Amino acid sequence: MFFKRRNKEKPAEAADTPTAETKEDGKAADAGGPSSPGGQGLSADALRRSVDAASLGFKTTADLEPDDGPLLGQDRALADLDFGLKMRGRDFNIFVLGPPGSGKRTAVRARLGTAARGAEPPPDWVYVARFTDPHGLRALSLPAGRAPLLAESVGAALAELRATLPAAFEAEDYRARHRAIEEDYRSAHDDALDALHAKAAEQNIAVLRTPLGFGMAPMHDGQVVKPEVFNQLPQAMRRDVESRVGALQSELEAILTSAPAVDKERRRQLAALNIETARHPIEAALDGVSQAFSDVPEVTAFLADMERDLIAHALTFLSPAAQEASRHRYVVHVLVSHTKEAGAPVVHEIDPTPSSLIGDIGPAGDGGLPGAPSRRIRAGALHKANGGTLVIDAGRLVSVPAAWHTLKCALKRGEIRVGPASSGATGADTAESVDADPIPLDVKVILTGTPGDYERLDAADPDFAQLFKVRASFAPTVARTAVNESRLARLVASMAKAHALKPLDAGGAARLIEEASRIAGHRDTLTLDLGRIADIAREADFWSKHAGRDVTTAEDVTRAIGARAQRTRALRSPTVFNDTARPGQVIGLNAADAGGVRFGQAHRVSARVHAGRGRAEDIVIMGAGAADARHGAILRSYLAGTFARDVPLAVAATLTAEPPLADTHGRGASLAALLALISALADHPVRQNIAVAGTVDQWGDVGPVAGVNDLIEGFFEASQARPLPGTQGVVIPDANRGDLMLSEDVVDAVREGRFVLHAVKTVDEALTLMTERDAGVRGADGLFGADTVNGRAEARLRAFADARLAFRRGADKVTGTREGRA
């Protein structure tokens, strides 16, 4: 051994020192009374803060005015929200953050509804064809509410033209003028050829039409002279004939050369005739539209372009197939429209994706004219909210990075660029390349989410904080004051009215207020999860009807709360208890979530120890998830600082929990883990009828846990289902005393001495209570008493250190011998 241990005598009666549950009257010690060994026993009066129904000042909630004022306890958040709504600029968007049920979405809806009603509606937007570009779409802005009228009016004009244009081109006047132009062309051409034929005949020259064109040959007595006969003629005669043929060919070429110019003139005259014929019905069809929108310059310019294009393509209206195709060229796509009475738009996007934010363009049917296929244009949430406010669930936005990128680009550019449609799961673009005008963006974006959502977005993109400069933080709880209790009672009256419930009497309202503190997790606060309170009120109303009452009472509220708890029991893992105490085993408590309900779960935490190298990784905590290394380091640091000040820490340990910890961090069971570890080292059992909840640091200070009421009630329920020897109870951190707002059955059990609660500040206090043996303190000689828990644990650790040293010496000796032989 490294040194001789001092035997520190323990008083004989110390092991039998009465604790809170072993006092003569069987009652727990008062919270204000003297501490029991190993911590302070808590009285029943310290476990719950009740509401005196008579102090509320009403008989039933029907006597109260419903509370329609600002949300309870959210003044700061509402002020920040109002500031963000009034502050202009693309970068002063708002992130409304708070835990689920804090009322943030309700507040946003209420505030936006009020602001929107007093605001001017934004303009309508439509897309029309850019007639000079077959792939282009032109964006037009119209006064609010007038886009559907434009689309309807243009559609009616096109329907009219499908009847009037064919009629105009089928009219006798048009046909006569068309024939006259054609006949003039043919007459002029034929007359020139006839004159040439006559002139050639006078000179005994024949003008012949061949597959290759026109040709000429000499004639004699009305017959064409054969070449072999012509070649036998005197040379002078042949030259005379050739000279006359050449002159006539020149005249023929002149006639043929002038034909294209004449035909061009013919086509020009026909085009002019078509324009003249089409202009009147087109102007007549569009005249009403032009007059209706004469005050909108953008529409006036579009109608002028459309008129010119209609005239140029008027002949496409002459067949049914061409008429249907041409309709798509002139359709007015209404992207977004607003009514004057609606004010500024407020849009809630629950499933943000790139296409749901900026819309898309896709094929909608068969194509029309070349380069102008039929299209479907769908507006996105940014289009619908433009000029107003867009509210997006931040949690969903976090899960779709492409959606955040799309939103960010639109906000930074200050414009919306509609995207191509994609085909379902593949995401492949199905639309042709379309050059659509961007639409100017003027929108206030509000993201609603949790603090975790904010942190993830902020960490993922440095632009996030630059675009969302306003944070409105909604608190989960509010101080429990008389004023706030009164306001909560009025809110309960509002809930009863909104859900058509029977009134609650003062006792029922008082019970709901108490439950609001229980949900908040602190006796001096009230939850702001009003949705959960409303659910309890609605279930209580059900039980009130079941009992045949005219009002909902405290009994009904209590029954609703109990029924809700009962429904979660099937989700809980079975609690494992030991009938006999064994060193290294502690009942620990931890919080679990299932089905949206948080409850306490008991675990058998066990530890086994043996000699090791003392590294942090030698202390293995099974089932604590990602927190293994952190918890192991804390336990090792406590052991080293408490027991291994002058010797190496040569211990290895494995800790397990049955059933496995539902909380991946295992925070609520860390004190239990340390107690199990020290119990195993001291080879001394701990009480199995007392469960332990609490965190611990490397100095041995016990810290608070979340949901302490759930932990206590979970163990109380389990111990009632399977009674344990002696009086059951729970050890809690002293820092959690202010959080106690326990159910009435637990309070009654403590009052009757059937259940006990102890508050501890340090590991030593917990050790003394749980082992029923003095934990021990170092004396003037720096040693623990040999028979104390700490003394026994230290002796075991020193034995491990001796064994480790002896093993190393033996290994060195064997190594040295081998080296000598080598």
Q: What are phi and psi of 123, to 5 degrees?
A: -70, 160
What are the respective helix, strand and coil percentages of the chain, to the nearest 5?
50, 20, 30
Which residue did the predictor score with more confidence, 3 or 720?
A: 720
Q: Residue 253: which H helix or E strand, with range? A: helix 235-292
Q: How far is CA 162 from CA 94, 158, 169, in A?
A: 52, 6, 12
Predicted local distance difference test score (pLDDT) of residue 660: 67
The C-alpha atoms of residue 474 and residue 70 are separated, in whole angstroms, by 13
| pLDDT tops 60 at residue 634 | yes
Beta bridge partner(s), residue 691: 587, 730
Q: Which domain holds residue 20?
A: 14-43+575-609+663-803
Residue 261 banded pLDDT, cuts 50, 70, 90: low
Q: Percent of the chain having pLDDT more than 90?
A: 44
| Residue 726 belongs to a domain | yes
The CA angle 53-715-684, to the nearest 5 degrees, is: 140
**Count of beta carbons in the 10 Å neighbourhood of residue 181:** 18
Contacts of 682 (CB under 8 A, 6+ apart): 583, 771, 789, 790, 792, 793, 796
pLDDT, residue 647, reads 87
- Of 639, 621, 646, the residue nearest 782 (C-alpha): 646
Taking each helix axis as running N to C, give the angle between helix 763-771 and helix 670-682, from 0 to 180 degrees, rounded to the nearest 10: 60
Euclidean distance between CA atoms 634 and 418, whole angstroms? 55
Helix spans in 547-669 (H): 554-568, 628-643
pLDDT at site 67: 77
**Same domain for 345 and 312?**
no
**pLDDT for the residue 748:** 93
The pLDDT assigned to 132 comes to 86
Q: Tell me the average pLDDT of the chain.
A: 82
Dump pLDDT digits (tens) for 544-570.
Answer: 999 999 999 999 999 999 888 777 766
667 and 584 in a common domain: yes
Do residue 230 and residue 266 come from a single domain?
Answer: yes
Give a yes or no: residue 446 inside a domain: yes
Number of folded domains that form the chain: 4
Whole-angstrom distance, CA of residue 694 vs CA of residue 246: 122
**What CATH number does residue 589 fall under?**
3.30.230.10
pLDDT of 46 > 70? The answer is: yes
Whether residue 95 is predicted with pLDDT greater than 70 in this model: the reply is yes
Evaluate whether residue 590 is within a structural domain.
yes
The reported pLDDT for the residue numbered 113 is: 77
pLDDT at 246 over 60: yes
CA distances from 376 to 128, 329, 359, 418, 511 (A): 12, 12, 11, 12, 57
The whole-angstrom separation of Cα 559 and Cα 543 is 7
Task: Note the pLDDT of residue 14.
Answer: 35
Of the ranges 73-87, 356-370, 714-728, the best mean pLDDT one: 73-87
Q: What is the CATH classification number for the domain harbouring 371?
A: 3.40.50.300
**Same domain, residue pair 138 and 255:** yes
What is the C-alpha to C-alpha distance for residues 600 and 572, in angstroms, rounded to an integer?
9
Question: At which of 306, 337, 368 does a domain end?
Answer: 337
Same domain, 186 and 236: yes
CB environment 708-728: b (16+ within 10 A), e (fewer): bbbbbbbbbbbbeeeebeebb
Which amino acid is residue 176, in one-letter code?
A
Whether 670 and 779 share a structural domain: yes
pLDDT value of position 27: 35
370 lies in some domain: yes
Model pLDDT, residue 34: 36
Q: Please state, in angstroms and rounded to a whole number, the distance separating the CA atoms of residues 138 and 375.
A: 14
Contact 444, 86 (CB under 8 A): no
pLDDT for residue 188 is more than 70: no
**316-326 pLDDT per residue, tens:** 877 776 666 66
The residue with greater pLDDT, 668 or 293, is: 293
Model pLDDT, residue 375: 72
Lowest mean pLDDT among 91-105, 389-403, 748-762: 91-105
Q: Give the per-residue pLDDT at 126.
A: 96
Q: What is the structure's pLDDT at 371?
A: 37
- The string of pLDDT tens digits covering residues 568-592 is 766 665 665 666 678 999 999 887 7
Among residues 21, 49, 33, 18, the alpha carbon closest in space to that of 752 is found at 21
Q: What is the average per-residue pLDDT within 47-62?
A: 93
Residues in the chain: 822
Looking at the domain assignment, is residue 133 inside a domain?
yes
Calculate mean pLDDT across residues 750-770: 95
Q: What is the pTM of this model?
A: 0.71
Given 309, 337, 365, the domain boundary residue is 337
379 and 306 fall within a common domain:
no
The confidence band for 186, taking pLDDT boundaries of 50, 70 and 90, is low
Residues 458 and 504 in one domain: no
At 522, which CATH number?
1.10.8.60
Is pLDDT at 785 greater than 80 in this prediction?
Answer: yes
The Cα 577–Cα 285 span in angstroms is 89
In this predicted structure, what is the pLDDT of residue 429? 43
pLDDT the model gives residue 278:
86
Assign 488 a pLDDT band (cuts: 50, 70, 90): very high
pLDDT tops 80 at residue 315: yes
User: What are the tens digits of pLDDT across the range 508-524?
Assistant: 999 999 999 988 888 99
Residues 269, 154 share a domain: yes
Please state, in angstroms and rounded to a whole number, the distance separating the CA atoms of residues 610 and 797.
9
Residues 111 and 175 in one domain: no
pLDDT digits (tens, 9 = 90+) for 446-460: 999 988 899 999 999
638: nearest Cα among 797, 811, 466: 797
In a domain, 638, yes or no: no
